[in-house]
Amino acid sequence: MLPVIGIVLVVGLVFGGYLGAGGSMTIILKALPFEMVMIGGAALGAFVLGNDLATIKGCGRDIVKVFKGPKWQAADYRDLLCLLFQLIWLARQNPVAVEEHIESPETSSIFGAYPKIQKDHDAIELICDTMRAASMNYDDPHQVEEVIDKRLDARRDHALHTSHAVQVVADALPALGIVAAVLGIIKTMGAIDEPPEVLGKMIGGALTGTFLGVFLAYGFVGPIAGRMGAIVAEDDHFFQLIREVLIANMHAHPANICIEVGRQNAPHQFRPDFSDLESAMRELKKAAA
């Protein structure tokens, strides 16, 4: 909802202020389709030229997220902590029994209780690989911690690639607007013998290109790229929580302490209530007993 409000504010206030100051939309509306074809077409062509197919598809998915918001919500953080508690508690009670869950998470009853998490390939791989490493009795947990950090850094860099690609387009749009404006001036110079009222309209149409390039860059495409990056950062907290809990587990802290470490590291707006989470863990213990 907020992105839609932002779009309405940008368009409404810019053009509302222009009309309020006595401006006319006639020249802009007449030039707009042609300027849009030149600027938008050049931006689209440059975008396709500079990116592979996977990035182009990824940009489409991530732009949708700008309007939908982050993937992981407060309920998902609570579910994640409950899932990790079940795995850690089972591993402490029966190390052999937990192996069937981390080796086949797609058929696991524990993972199956949290379908949204189960469907996320990256989250499941991180949990299972780290739990598997814990079962190998590493002498130095910091080795596993370093591996996880490198893995999360690589994942974050890959996830940010689409926002960087869109930001490149935003940076190019003002220059592409100038290209369209120069072409308009060239057209105007070819009609230099026309009367001033005709030349004035032609120059106004040419300047529409400069306006459109800057307007699209700073009013729409740049903010969209920034929001795409912000959503990646917000969703990354989910994976950082997995890291904190499983590293605490490798340091042999009690299961409830591991979960509390994760809860404390959850973003404030997504952090589960302590009492609610404690009650949920007690219920999970009773169900497993």
Q: Tell me: the pLDDT tens digits for 194-217? A: 888 888 888 888 899 999 999 999
pLDDT reported for residue 137: 61
pLDDT reported for residue 175: 96
Once rounded to an integer, what is the mean pLDDT over residues 106-129? 94
Q: Output the average pLDDT for the chain.
A: 91
- Tell me: pLDDT of 50 over 90: yes
- Tell me: pLDDT of 218 over 90: yes
Q: Tell me: the pLDDT tens digits for 61-99? A: 999 999 999 999 999 999 999 999 999 999 888 888 888
pLDDT reported for residue 289: 61
Contact 185, 205 (CB under 8 A): no
pLDDT reported for residue 138: 60
Cα–Cα distance, 108 to 99 (Å, whole number): 10
pLDDT reported for residue 139: 60
Contact 145, 247 (CB under 8 A): yes
- Tell me: pLDDT of 259 over 80: yes
Check residue 267 and report its DSSP letter. Answer: -
Once rounded to an integer, what is the mean pLDDT over residues 134-138? 68
Once rounded to an integer, what is the mean pLDDT over residues 97-105? 90
Q: Tell me: the pLDDT tens digits for 22-43? A: 888 988 899 899 999 999 999 9
pLDDT reported for residue 288: 67
Once rounded to an integer, what is the mean pLDDT over residues 260-276? 92
Contact 262, 244 (CB under 8 A): yes
Please work out, in degrees rounded to the nearest 5, the angle formed at the alpha carbon of residue 163 by the alpha carbons of 267 and 71.
40
Q: Tell me the CA distances in angstroms from 166 to 6, 63, 201, 230, one per residue in order.
A: 18, 9, 33, 13
Task: Find all residues with CB under 8 Å of 166, minimum gap 6, and list them.
Answer: 59, 63, 221, 224, 225, 228
Once rounded to an integer, what is the mean pLDDT over residues 165-172? 97
Among residues 284, 237, 282, 233, which one has the least CA distance to residue 263? 237
**Confidence (pTM):** 0.87
* Single-letter residue type at 18: Y
Once rounded to an integer, what is the mean pLDDT over residues 261-269? 92
C-alpha of 137 from chain center: 36
User: Residue 69 — left, alpha, or beta (φ > 0 → left; ψ -120 to 50 → alpha)?
Assistant: left
